[in-house]
A and B are shown apart, each in its own frame.
Chain A
Amino acid sequence: MKAGYYWLVICTLLAASGCSSLGVKPWERNLLAREDMLMDAAALDLAFDEHIYFSKEASSGGQGFAGGGCGCN
């Protein structure tokens, strides 16, 4: 599990440094522009999951703002 954490730290540092060697030209975005390639595709599913796991576990959030409080935990 710790390996995943360290991997994420490395990615964060890479991303923060600008990643100027990565990326595409504006006319190469046809696949990335698809709805199913959005980072928040299936937003309602994500919101349902966030609510379920918030009420059953001690962790929540990470992906964005949860969108409203709940007295379930």
Chain B
Amino acid sequence: MQLSKKKVAGLLSAATCSLLGSAAQADENPWDVDSAILYYSETDRVMAIEPVISATKDLGDDASVSMKLVLDSLTGASASGAVPSTMVQTFTTPSGNSSYQVNPNETPLDDTFLDTRLSYSMNWETPIDRNNRRNLGFNVSKEYDFFSLSGNALWDHDSNQKNTTYSYGINVELDAIDPVGGAPRPLTAMLAQDKTSGTESRDIVDLLFGVTQVINRSSLFQVNLSLSEASGYMTDPYKFVSVVDVTGEPTSQLFESRPDSRSRQSLFGKYKKMFSNKDIFTISYRYMTDDWGIDSNTFDFSYRFNMKEGYFIEPHLRLYDQSAADFYRYFLTDSEPLPQYASADYRLGEMEATTVGVKFGREIAEQHVWSARLEQYVQNGDGSPDVAFGQLTQQDLYPDVDALILQFNYSFKW
């Protein structure tokens, strides 16, 4: 079941009215409205369309309020974690009511993947005194099998003639997960459909400490330290781990199992520089590490050519790599005892990813700007790992993800 079209249309109109309604009483502080639509498409897999509208109003005296509404519609197939076989494989759908088949030598994909997500957030920024500001926010989002509620508070403190800003923040998120067909008991067989009914939950607390420093008239940098503690249901209820025999053929599919807590730390740095011709160079780097054994590095570069005619062109490159989670397994063998945790979710495996793109934009009237962004995202892992044997050596155990990202933005005062 998805959110019905009527329901979504009703929610959208209600939220849009609440976003923009008070602007009908025109005053000197109009709403800054940013709207965008994202099209995301993976080759032979997931496709998503995501419209967003965001509006910010200056309340005067450095206070502002902003609201954002996101609708996210996903369809297509997603890798289930099971390994390919030389024979036809049959899988039970999450509801347990039907099945689907995967052809020999093809990556098992669950093509029943379909979801709609609606998310609404609101932020309120107010000055405390000349050098201190607070920002309070909340977010609610709903999918068919998932509900999330979060609240955050951020305190910015300026010093050194506002050249140095210290930021301290906390975010608390409460998630409720209600998997289709119930939550499978970890590492039980797909065929057994041994599932618990009821709602699973997860709590996440994020802490942020950041420093933004102006270097000179045309450059500045930012460094953030983030700590995140998550506890509760962290397993993906729709992912499998295959158990294979001595020939490498899968003999059963087990539901995956993940730890019920995760601690993450990340260090993020960003530098921006404007050149004399008004072009802007931006570089950022993030190092993340967690207690699941995952370390990652993310580099991001962009160069914005600000043309005299009001156009801009901005090429973008993102490089990402991560190590595998300690419990990531391409497959399990039927001769070994079951581990406590195991997941074949490709997102927890060792991988590299590259995004290459360009954004183009133009101011068509005063404070009316449109832009378009086109990017390609490619993710690669080791599809022929040393642990493969038998028929598995003939299979691609980590197929690439190749996605196209297309986005249109329109910003205006209202």
User: Is the pair A4, B297 in contact by a Cβ cutoff of 8 Å?
Assistant: yes
User: Is the pair A36, B270 in contact by a Cβ cutoff of 8 Å?
Assistant: no
User: Is the pair B160, A59 in contact by a Cβ cutoff of 8 Å?
Assistant: no
Q: Which residues on B sit within 8 Å (CB–CB) of A61?
A: 206, 226, 228, 264, 266
**How many residues in A have their beta carbons less than 8 Å from beta carbons of B?**
52
Q: Which residues on B sit within 8 Å (CB–CB) of A20?
A: 160
How many angstroms between the C-alpha atoms of A47 and B220 in the bound complex?
22
User: Is the pair A70, B148 in contact by a Cβ cutoff of 8 Å?
Assistant: yes
User: In residues 1-43 of chain A, which contact B (Cβ within 8 Å)?
Assistant: 1, 4-5, 7-9, 11-12, 15-16, 18-20, 22-26, 28-32, 34, 36-37, 39, 42-43
B371 closest partner in A (C-beta): A42
A21 to chain B, nearest CB (A): 10
User: Is the pair B206, A68 in contact by a Cβ cutoff of 8 Å?
Assistant: no
Is B124 on the interface with A (CB-CB < 8 A)? no
User: Is the pair B141, A8 in contact by a Cβ cutoff of 8 Å?
Assistant: no
How many angstroms between the C-alpha atoms of A18 and B164 in the bound complex?
7
B299 closest partner in A (C-beta): A4
User: Is the pair A37, B280 in contact by a Cβ cutoff of 8 Å?
Assistant: yes
Stretch of B13-21, B80-88, B171-179, B384-392 contacting A (4+ beta carbons < 8 Å): B171-179
Q: Given A8-B285, A59-B322, A61-B206 in contact, is the A69-B175 Cβ separation under 8 Å?
A: yes
User: Is the pair B148, A62 in contact by a Cβ cutoff of 8 Å?
Assistant: no
B356 to chain A, nearest CB (A): 13
B159 closest partner in A (C-beta): A18
User: Is the pair A15, B161 in contact by a Cβ cutoff of 8 Å?
Assistant: no
User: Is the pair A59, B266 in contact by a Cβ cutoff of 8 Å?
Assistant: yes
Q: Give the interface SS of chain A, mostly helix, strand, loop or mixed.
A: loop
Q: Say which residue of A4, A15, A51, A52 sits within 8 Å of B164 (CB atoms).
A: A15
How many angstroms between the C-alpha atoms of A64 and B236 in the bound complex?
25
Is B132 on the interface with A (CB-CB < 8 A)? no
Q: Say which residue of B40, B115, B288, B405 sits within 8 Å of A62 (CB atoms).
A: B288
User: Is the pair A62, B217 in contact by a Cβ cutoff of 8 Å?
Assistant: no
Q: Which residues on A sit within 8 Å (CB–CB) of B257?
A: none
A36 closest partner in B (C-beta): B280
How many angstroms between the C-alpha atoms of A15 and B257 in the bound complex?
41
Q: Given A11-B221, A69-B173, A71-B145 in contact, is the A57-B287 Cβ separation under 8 Å?
A: no
User: In residues 127-154 of chain B, which contact A (Cβ within 8 Å)?
Assistant: 137, 139-141, 143, 145-146, 148, 150, 152, 154
Is B368 on the interface with A (CB-CB < 8 A)? no
User: Is the pair B163, A23 in contact by a Cβ cutoff of 8 Å?
Assistant: yes
B411 closest partner in A (C-beta): A44
Given A8-B267, A36-B306, A45-B373, 16 more A-B residue pairs with CB atoms under 8 Å apart are A1-B321, A8-B268, A15-B221, A18-B160, A22-B215, A23-B216, A24-B216, A43-B54, A44-B52, A48-B407, A51-B50, A56-B403, A58-B296, A65-B137, A65-B171, A70-B143
Give me the interface of A with B, judged by CB distance under 8 Å: 1, 4-5, 7-9, 11-12, 15-16, 18-20, 22-26, 28-32, 34, 36-37, 39, 42-45, 47-48, 51-53, 56-59, 61-65, 67-73
Instruction: Provide a sorted-by-A list of 7 A–B residue pairs whose CB atoms are within 8 angstroms.
Output: A32-B220, A39-B270, A47-B68, A53-B320, A59-B320, A64-B224, A73-B236
Q: Which 8 A-B pairs have the closest CB atoms?
A: A23-B163, A69-B148, A71-B146, A62-B268, A68-B139, A15-B211, A59-B296, A62-B286
